[in-house]
Chains A and B, each alone.
Chain A
Amino acid sequence: MDERMGDLLIAYIEEAKDHLNVIETSMLALEKEGHSSDLIDSMFRGIHSIKGAAGFFQLNTLVYLTHHMEELLSAAREGFQLNEETLNLIFKCMDILHDMFIDVENSDDFEVEELVQELIKVMSKTSEGKQEQSPKEIGPDDTVDLSHLVLNNKPQIEELVKQGLLAFSVKLYPKNDILDCSLTISEFIDQAISVGVIIQVEPPSFLDDPDKKYNSKEEVLLLYCTVMELELVPLALQLPENQIASVDIDEFTAVINLPIPSTEDDEKGAPKSNTALTSSSRDETLRVKVSQLNKLVDNVGELILSRKQVTQALEPYMTELPNLAPIVKNINGVVSDLQEQIMNARMQPIGSVFSKFPRLIRDLSRQLKKSIELKTKGDEIELDKTVIEALSDPLTHLIRNVTDHELELPEERVENGKSATGTVLLNAYHQSGQVVVEVKDDGRGIDPEKIASTALNKHICTQQQLQHMSSEDKIRLIFSPGFSTAEVVNDIIGRGVGMDAVKNNIEKIGGSVDITSSIGVGTSVKLTLPLTLAIVSSLLVEVDQQSFILPQVNISELVNIIATEKKNRVEVIQNKNILKIRETLLPLITLGELLELKDYSYDLFDENKSLQIVIIEVDGISLGLVVDLVVGIEEIVVKPIPQYLVGIDIYSGATILGNGEVALILDLSVIAKSQAGENQAQTISSDSKELQIDLTSIANSYLIFDNGSEENFSIPVSYIKRIDQYEENKIQKVGPKNFLEVQGKALPLIHLESFLEIQNPSPLDSQKAKVLIIDHESHFFCLLIHNIVDSKSMDTDLDSSNVSSKILEGSMLLNDKLTLFLNIPELINASDGRF
């Protein structure tokens, strides 16, 4: 098969798969709603299209099977009732068609004879009924009866139709249609023969005497067979649409010159609006190779880089050339827009995954003798193609679990006062820049205690740990690696295998999983997914002057340990470095040494350096990675590791940074697993002197704190450089002013009491009190606070009507408590006089 044919075949396979999906959807609807001519029409059209093109590619087995399916559906269009048995037979045919399209080149090796025989058997029943039907009405006067032409050639046409060709009657006005278009008759005939077969012509002289002259009234009738669909024939023969009609050989009649659009004829009985919709949507979409799109993504990435360079190079001339700035700005806008559009082009509606589940549910519910209804919501939500593909397996797994174990038998449901039919809801929706896919059921729910005892038996957690767990946390144990293996199937926990596999798969694409359940009511599993895999929010770090990327999903926090604190925080136990953090001990690994960087060593106990540590958490394993420098969070475009390097599992991909440099993306799960065997985190108590800020979306995060008053206060986290424990002995008093020594520098220390009237202040508890080290445009100062309440990422909607001081931006109710938002620049202004 030559290259072009190969491309055509690929397009055909894609199209056929779409048809199969449509057919299956119609079948499921048919099963539910009963006989509907619309649904049968849509099935018929699908099979018909598949058959037509299969003949073109000479996929004989496909033609053979679809031909008989088409026969049956054609009978159904004329009133033959498709009972359950027949539908099951068609479902079986669909399954084998699905398989055939996976391996089209070998589709002739598939065994379909048995199915075809069954189809023929069913058909024989229909033909009995069919004979009683009145023959089809013949059209009004302006139609031409071609029946004698068809009758004469019936065996030949039937043979061609079996091969997937379609028969058409073509009416020609040789003068107008051919000669006036500066074509000769023989040219027209050659053209017609190149794409089909001319069965018979009336009058035959048209073929025999190509030089004959015609007047404009003389007409020629052609009986013509081709693989092309009705819409394409007029284009191929360059004839007006209304002169071509399809021939239904079973009826022996053809209808010509109908004033209505000819497509209607092929799709008899289909609602008009529906036809219009499909044909118009066909025009508005175009199949594009993914590789081509990826290439565009690359190009746009490069364009963005060049744009940056151009902007930098032009910077000095911006003031000299007044026209330059708007041009550069315009380019910026267009390039950003281009990037967004290309990313959007990779998006697909999630409905394309959802659509495979009705069939799964149908099969499972029969197999398990349960009555199950599947509902889907948010089918139109779009996700990147790669995410969509990665979602299919985990969702199948979850749905199998739900139907197998979660949903009860109908009798049991009725006993418990539920409707006999169990419901599974697949719900997709947007939430803060991500997409959530929820699999929700109204089954028996999960008992947290049962999960807990299984986890205990399997040594996944200790009794002590369980005591501190809420029931939600206990249910989450179901995701622990090693929790569910084949031996512990459902009897014990009412839930099947491999929830950790689901979790792993989702995390691999940068998503997360959560589960909630209540006994007797049902369970909900939520998959939170990134919109696109191509762009990932990541942490950029430097080791030995080389940049590395850590995916942000696996990072739980960043810790900076100042040089003087090292002794208290880092310990060496059995030759291993251990970080003390809050209540736990974590293995501490130097990234540079882990990567075996050449000539690289890192002295953890160097007294002149502070330690920059990234705490990662993967599959329940936590550890600290020491890096030279945490640079910051970047949105990176992930590219695969080149082919020549795939053997190294520590990298999950690569990216191009803003400066054009290539940086490698580390696979943190590989790093964590390689360390897991050696180090086990233990639970001991240790007092922490620093408090870490959650890294996620610093952009609109706020720290909320208590200042010993009725109100809470809040400041944007971005101002906070560090949070330290309050230590009274570090305070130096100079006159009325207080200073705090931080990293060898004396910084002014202020308390909000000096600026605001505080109602009934409570005394400072030095155990809880913290000092926020605040940095605004290189103005450093310390703010003494009583206690940290929370840190929150949110959009603020401040009410500024009731604030009395300039240093307050406004107020807002948070968790039913009035929270005052500080204006840091104003606070610095106000405090300047006091230092």
Chain B
Amino acid sequence: MKLATFWINQSLFAVDILLTREISPIHQITHVSKAPPYILGLINLRGQIISVVDPSYFLHNTPSSTNKNCRFLIITSNEDLKHLKRMQLIDDVKLGKEPLAVKIDKIDDVIDINESQILPPPSTLSGIDREMISGVVEVDKELIVIMNMPKFVAKILDAENKAR
């Protein structure tokens, strides 16, 4: 499987590339007052209004800073997944109704790994919400944390429902 890797708060993360739609340069974010702190605001992605979320809140429990290397990792929607499922490229996973932009500090690479290379998250992994992680993989002696995107999206939606 192919993973997109990226940096958030000096840690290397990865996500299944099939669950991403694109990586977009930073847009002007419209701040949404009264929104939960992990929602950075809204962006206009070619005519579609998309929420931007700061993953650091869930992964590290701190807000992240913004610099010129920042990018938006656009996570696809259920609508797009249908197509992938039909082609039997992915299992039955669920994301949001709409795409979601995840702010990342820097894009790294696209790596091709074998699923057998994925290890369970080591117990030494601290400071990261383990629920959001589907495993780790070691590439060139570097440990990459694979994000569980469906869980991550579900968590945001869940937090949203609770707020309501």
Interface residues of A (CB under 8 A from B): 3, 291, 298-299, 301-302, 305, 546, 595-598, 639, 642-648, 650-651, 654, 656, 660-664
Chain A nearest Cβ from B102, distance in angstroms:
11
Which of A305, A648, A662 is within 8 Å of B30, CB to CB?
Answer: A662
Which of B28, B39, B49, B97 is within 8 Å of A654, CB to CB?
Answer: B49
Across-interface contacts of B30 in A (CB, < 8 A): 546, 654, 661-664
Given contacts A596-B33, A662-B30, 20 further A-B contacts (CB under 8 A): A298-B48, A305-B47, A546-B31, A596-B34, A597-B33, A643-B96, A643-B157, A644-B39, A644-B53, A644-B160, A645-B160, A646-B160, A646-B164, A650-B34, A654-B30, A661-B28, A662-B43, A662-B49, A664-B30, A664-B42
Q: B1-42 toward A: CB 8 Å interface, digit per residue (1/0)?
A: 000000000000000000000000000101111111001011
Per the 8 Å Cβ criterion, residues 42-73 of B in contact with A are 42-44, 46-51, 53
Contacts A596-B34, A647-B164, A661-B28 hold; do A642 and B51 have CB atoms under 8 A apart?
yes
B81 at the binding interface (Cβ < 8 Å) = no
**CA of A651 to CA of B42 in the docked complex: distance in angstroms?**
13
**CA of A307 to CA of B105 in the docked complex: distance in angstroms?**
32
**CA of A487 to CA of B41 in the docked complex: distance in angstroms?**
46
Chain B nearest Cβ from A112, distance in angstroms:
35
Q: Are B44 and A647 interface neighbours, CB within 8 A?
A: no
Q: Are A644 and B51 interface neighbours, CB within 8 A?
A: yes
**CA of A596 to CA of B100 in the docked complex: distance in angstroms?**
25
B161 at the binding interface (Cβ < 8 Å) = yes
Across-interface contacts of A650 in B (CB, < 8 A): 34
Which of B49, B53, B156 is within 8 Å of A656, CB to CB?
Answer: B49
Interface-central residue, A3, A305, A597, A661, by most chain B CB under 10 Å: A661
Interface-central residue, B31, B33, B164, by most chain A CB under 10 Å: B33
**CA of A642 to CA of B44 in the docked complex: distance in angstroms?**
12
Across-interface contacts of A301 in B (CB, < 8 A): 47
**CA of A646 to CA of B157 in the docked complex: distance in angstroms?**
10
Chain A nearest Cβ from B53, distance in angstroms:
7
B98 at the binding interface (Cβ < 8 Å) = yes
Contacts A595-B34, A661-B44, A664-B32 hold; do A3 and B86 have CB atoms under 8 A apart?
yes
Chain A nearest Cβ from B58, distance in angstroms:
13
Chain A nearest Cβ from B35, distance in angstroms:
6
Across-interface contacts of B39 in A (CB, < 8 A): 644-645
Chain A nearest Cβ from B43, distance in angstroms:
6
- List, sorted by A's number, 26 A–B pairs whose CB atoms are closer than 8 Å: A298-B48, A301-B47, A302-B47, A546-B31, A595-B33, A597-B33, A642-B42, A642-B50, A642-B51, A642-B98, A643-B157, A644-B96, A644-B100, A646-B160, A646-B164, A647-B161, A650-B34, A656-B47, A656-B49, A660-B28, A661-B28, A661-B30, A661-B44, A662-B41, A662-B44, A664-B30
Across-interface contacts of B163 in A (CB, < 8 A): 647
Chain A nearest Cβ from B98, distance in angstroms:
5
Chain B nearest Cβ from A544, distance in angstroms:
9
Across-interface contacts of A642 in B (CB, < 8 A): 42, 49-51, 98
Nearest residue, chain A, Cβ from B99: A642
Across-interface contacts of A639 in B (CB, < 8 A): 49
Nearest residue, chain B, Cβ from A299: B47
Q: Are A643 and B98 interface neighbours, CB within 8 A?
A: yes
Q: Are A648 and B35 interface neighbours, CB within 8 A?
A: yes
Q: Are B44 and A644 interface neighbours, CB within 8 A?
A: no
Across-interface contacts of B157 in A (CB, < 8 A): 643-644
Contacts A596-B34, A645-B35 hold; do A662 and B42 have CB atoms under 8 A apart?
yes
Q: Are A648 and B47 interface neighbours, CB within 8 A?
A: no
Q: B76-114 toward A: CB 8 Å interface, digit per residue (1/0)?
A: 000100000010000000001110100000000000000
Instruction: Compute the total of residue contacts between A and B using a CB distance below 8 Å.
Output: 77
Chain A nearest Cβ from B64, distance in angstroms:
17
Across-interface contacts of A648 in B (CB, < 8 A): 32, 34-35
Chain B contact residues, majority secondary structure: mixed
**CA of A72 to CA of B96 in the docked complex: distance in angstroms?**
50
Across-interface contacts of B43 in A (CB, < 8 A): 662
Nearest residue, chain B, Cβ from A301: B47
Chain B nearest Cβ from A773, distance in angstroms:
35
**CA of A656 to CA of B49 in the docked complex: distance in angstroms?**
8
Contacts A650-B34, A651-B32, A661-B28 hold; do A645 and B47 have CB atoms under 8 A apart?
no
Chain B nearest Cβ from A508, distance in angstroms:
19
Chain B nearest Cβ from A602, distance in angstroms:
14
**CA of A639 to CA of B51 in the docked complex: distance in angstroms?**
13
Interface-central residue, A643, A650, A661, by most chain B CB under 10 Å: A643
CB-based closest 6 A-B pairs: A302-B47, A662-B30, A644-B51, A647-B164, A298-B47, A642-B51
Across-interface contacts of A662 in B (CB, < 8 A): 30, 41-44, 49
Nearest residue, chain B, Cβ from A598: B33
**CA of A302 to CA of B48 in the docked complex: distance in angstroms?**
9
Nearest residue, chain B, Cβ from A595: B33
Across-interface contacts of A647 in B (CB, < 8 A): 36, 160-161, 163-164
Q: Are A643 and B97 interface neighbours, CB within 8 A?
A: yes
Nearest residue, chain A, Cβ from B82: A3
Chain A nearest Cβ from B75, distance in angstroms:
11
Nearest residue, chain A, Cβ from B31: A546
**CA of A546 to CA of B32 in the docked complex: distance in angstroms?**
10
Nearest residue, chain A, Cβ from B79: A291
Nearest residue, chain A, Cβ from B160: A647
Across-interface contacts of B86 in A (CB, < 8 A): 3
Q: Are A302 and B46 interface neighbours, CB within 8 A?
A: yes
Across-interface contacts of A661 in B (CB, < 8 A): 28, 30, 44
Across-interface contacts of B31 in A (CB, < 8 A): 546, 598
Q: Are A654 and B48 interface neighbours, CB within 8 A?
A: no
Across-interface contacts of B50 in A (CB, < 8 A): 642
**CA of A446 to CA of B156 in the docked complex: distance in angstroms?**
53
Across-interface contacts of A595 in B (CB, < 8 A): 33-34
**CA of A597 to CA of B160 in the docked complex: distance in angstroms?**
20
**CA of A344 to CA of B157 in the docked complex: distance in angstroms?**
35
Across-interface contacts of A299 in B (CB, < 8 A): 47
**CA of A299 to CA of B34 in the docked complex: distance in angstroms?**
30
**CA of A664 to CA of B157 in the docked complex: distance in angstroms?**
20
Across-interface contacts of B100 in A (CB, < 8 A): 644
Interface-central residue, A546, A642, A651, A660, by most chain B CB under 10 Å: A642
**CA of A650 to CA of B33 in the docked complex: distance in angstroms?**
10
**CA of A298 to CA of B100 in the docked complex: distance in angstroms?**
17
**CA of A596 to CA of B37 in the docked complex: distance in angstroms?**
13
Nearest residue, chain A, Cβ from B53: A644
Across-interface contacts of B46 in A (CB, < 8 A): 302
Across-interface contacts of B161 in A (CB, < 8 A): 647
Chain A nearest Cβ from B28, distance in angstroms:
6
Chain A nearest Cβ from B63, distance in angstroms:
13
Contacts A654-B42, A662-B43 hold; do A645 and B51 have CB atoms under 8 A apart?
yes
Nearest residue, chain B, Cβ from A656: B44
**CA of A643 to CA of B42 in the docked complex: distance in angstroms?**
11
Across-interface contacts of A596 in B (CB, < 8 A): 33-34
Chain A nearest Cβ from B57, distance in angstroms:
13
Chain A nearest Cβ from B132, distance in angstroms:
16
Chain B nearest Cβ from A524, distance in angstroms:
40
Across-interface contacts of B96 in A (CB, < 8 A): 643-644
Chain A nearest Cβ from B31, distance in angstroms:
6
**CA of A662 to CA of B28 in the docked complex: distance in angstroms?**
8
Across-interface contacts of B53 in A (CB, < 8 A): 644
**CA of A271 to CA of B86 in the docked complex: distance in angstroms?**
47
Across-interface contacts of B44 in A (CB, < 8 A): 656, 660-662
Across-interface contacts of A651 in B (CB, < 8 A): 32
**CA of A301 to CA of B35 in the docked complex: distance in angstroms?**
26
Interface-central residue, A301, A645, A651, by most chain B CB under 10 Å: A645
Q: Are B156 and A644 interface neighbours, CB within 8 A?
A: yes
Nearest residue, chain A, Cβ from B162: A647
**CA of A728 to CA of B69 in the docked complex: distance in angstroms?**
64
Nearest residue, chain B, Cβ from A646: B160
Chain A nearest Cβ from B156, distance in angstroms:
6
